[in-house]
Chain A
Amino acid sequence: MSGSASSEDSALLFLNRTEARAVAAFTSELIPSEEGSPGAVEAGVTTYIDRALAGFMRDLQPVYRRGLEALADLAAERFGCSFGEATSAQKRHLIAELDDLGRNEPANFLGQFFRIVREHTIQGFFGDPAYGGNRDTVGWKLVGFPGAQWGYTSEQMQRGVDSRTFPILTVKDLYARIGEAK
């Protein structure tokens, strides 16, 4: 996975291209892509994070700048290349280290940065597509969440119902339906 999809096919609102590539490479390790099963990259998690940093999360702009620099420095020191250019094993090794820091050393900046990016990766993967991530509702398809439903019938609430048969809806779909009703 090149990890560059999101920086090439959509406008960037805060991150520069190098940063966007780093975010894509990093979040791709948090929710990896598999054959037939999209991950963070296909979901557009980088776009979600970029838009959020330009808006709702603008207070975190300096945290991302500093975090991505620290990540680049660490990768250069350990592997002599950028994080994105490292091997899969190298990337996973580094992420395991950051996860450990995040859990055991609450004051460590890189550990904090790991937890922040992970939180936003989850948001970008499972949030409504209106926010720029969860493209084609791939996150919801993965887990079997039917999305932004107006409601469920009592038949749908029966035991043993396969919820993967429910058509997935988004906030946009609900607005379209309201528009039609009026």
Chain B
Amino acid sequence: MIEKFDAIVVGMGSSGGIVAEQLTKSGARVLGLEKGPEYSQEDFEVKADELRYYQRGAIVAGVAVDPVTWRPDEKTQARVLPWSAGALGTDEPLYGLPSIGTGGGTLHWGAAAYRFREADFRMKSAIAERFGHGALPEGSTLADWPISYADLEPYYEKVEHQQGYSGRAGNVDGEFPEGTNPFDVWRRSDYPMPPVTQGPGDLPWVEATKRLGYHPFRQPLAINSQEYKGRPACVNCGFCHGFPCHVKAKSTTQVTSIPAAKATGNLDLRANSRVLRVNRSADGRRVTGVTYVDSADQIHEVEAEIVVLAAYALENVRLMLVSGINKNGQVGQHFQTHNFGWFGSILPEATNPFIGTFNASSAIDDFTSELVPDNDLGVLWGSPIISVTGDLQPIEAYHNMNPSVQKWGLELKHWLRDNYRHMHRMYSQTTNFPYARHYVDLDPSVKDRWGQPAIRITHEWEDHDANSVSLMGRYKEKIAREMGATEFWMDSPRPPYHLSTHDVGVHRMGLDPATSVTDPFGHVHECDGLYAVGGGGFVSYGGYNPNETIQALAYMSAGHLIENLGSTAGRSQAHVA
């Protein structure tokens, strides 16, 4: 007999964990399918191992299991990610797929926790108002979101309090406390915890940016600065970004929503269970369930009237495409990703860059989004500039060293000996406009070990991307000089990677079923009962980290699902032994 549930959630990560928690608490019986393992805290007890997690990617699937291919344009043959596959592939989690297993991408993340700005939701209109209708680059498919910041604000609020975020808000209901971010978006309440302990390398950065007249603020993070909801404060171990947390201080659905969902007794969580396709009614109009394969290669068919795809933007698209869901040709379009614009400096004073988390630091919003100054490079939308002061282990430091230094012999050895403890980094994820020429689809030849086609990315950095990195680079250089940096260097404005774990936009939300994949709640227009949640729904993409918005959207989708499930919840129990 085929098992039947009220809802099936595919992926127990950032969104899937939240949706599963909300649905099970409302009384619905939920099947949670996770292609990675189900972790226990003991798995992460000793995780201070750079080789295991950062270099060998122990918590990511890796391109050997989940192949992704890339090509710069349609004329070029796509290859499995050339910057992370092959003999030199290092699996540094910045340029690959996010971690998998219970918690998903919130296991590896650096926990930078930003709300988007009001203007980010109407980027297209705001650019047209300021720069004119013809200002956008040729071929751009930029659009405004169908929802506003005000629509999402209650859910941002929920994320920060439910998932446990720390920071100090700059604009609480029109109050601007001294020393906070004067450009902060309005909100109804402050973060539930103050910022985490600041890394020593952040102090010279804060002083320099203040002297330059900028407005540094402590970054909001999804990391406990004090005990919160039974989880302890961060112990500043410095193995955070790319690593699981050994004390449960980092907010991941592995320690927040998933245990809460399990506690209801309504979650049937099946790990190492990989969904192969979404099943629909004969006319294709209604979802009926999914087919998945377990770790023993057994194939199972399960049924539900609600199926929520929460398996990462790219995997959601792959599942829709292999299931034949793409009537309007929009599934996989508008691929957007982040270019980090890494900038390294050597400071006169020690920064102890291994101490504390990646983001135990500050940022400035002086040039973010609509605040971008008029400029000669044609940059239409700006980015925050972020100081990175912790979490830098020696192998990663080697990967980030000054490229003008000879990387072998005594030159290499002495450079690392003399400079490692003085390294400071900055980055600014730059706005990536959507274009018709940037998309993901099924690779015609590369398949995974289950015989399913790999996802293929077609993307190249455009002039606006490179110019954004260059523009932000000018400010970073000013800051580096003001800090008295003895050496500084910047990444190429057109870096080799085209995947950043910040990949979004590929199942765009919208009100018009002809030009979007889902409605604002993630309901897939062409298939009743099927939802796609996560960053795939983003319509535009500025410079803030995506995850807080992903989680806010997950709460919004869950609320909508519960309303619609009201009459049917519990109905499936009769069918289950």
- Using CB atoms and an 8 Å cutoff, list the residues of chain A in contact with chain B: 29-32, 34, 37, 39, 56, 60, 63, 92, 95, 99, 112, 115-116, 118-119, 122-123, 126-128, 130-131, 139-140, 142-154, 156-163, 171, 174-175, 178
Contact = CB atoms under 8 A, between A and B. Distances in A.
Contacts of B197: 154, 157
A178 B41 CA distance: 14
10 contacts: A29-B409, A116-B88, A128-B51, A143-B397, A143-B417, A145-B393, A152-B355, A159-B203, A163-B421, A171-B48
B350 A174 contact: no
A131 B51 contact: yes
B118 interface: no
B518 interface: no
Contact of B413 (A32, A128, A156): A32
Contact of A31 (B198, B247, B356, B412): B412
Nearest to B351: A159
B542 to A, nearest CB: 31
Nearest to B204: A159
A148 B46 contact: yes
B87 A160 contact: no
Given A32-B410, A39-B413, A119 B48 contact: no
Given A95-B408, A128-B51, A163-B350, 8 more contacts: A123-B51, A126-B50, A128-B49, A151-B234, A157-B200, A157-B352, A163-B355, A171-B49
Contacts of A127: 50-51, 55, 395
Given A148-B46, A148-B48, A152-B355, A112 B408 contact: no
A39 B412 CA distance: 11
A95 B409 contact: yes
Given A31-B412, A118-B407, A152 B87 contact: no
A92 B393 CA distance: 28
B49 A152 contact: no
The SS class assigned to the B binding surface is loop
Contacts of A151: 234-237, 247
B116 interface: no
A179 B219 CA distance: 36
B87 A116 contact: yes
A140 B391 CA distance: 15
Nearest to A67: B87
B408 A118 contact: yes
A152 B48 contact: no
B125 interface: no
B237 A150 contact: yes
A159 B236 CA distance: 15
B48 A144 contact: no
A159 B160 CA distance: 30
A29 B236 CA distance: 36
Contacts of B420: 143-145
- Which of A99, A127, A131, A178 has the most C-beta atoms of chain B within 10 angstroms of its own C-beta? A127
Interface string B77-112: 000000000011010000000000000000000000
B409 A32 contact: yes
A142 B415 CA distance: 11
B407 A34 contact: no
B356 A139 contact: no
B265 interface: no
Contacts of A118: 407-408
A-B pairs, top 4 by smallest CB distance, nearest first, are A151-B235, A148-B48, A126-B394, A143-B420
A158 to B, nearest CB: 6
B70 interface: no
Residue from B197, B234, B235, B408 having most chain A Cβ neighbours under 10 A: B408
A34 to B, nearest CB: 7
A127 to B, nearest CB: 4
Nearest to A133: B51
Nearest to B354: A145
Contacts of A39: 413
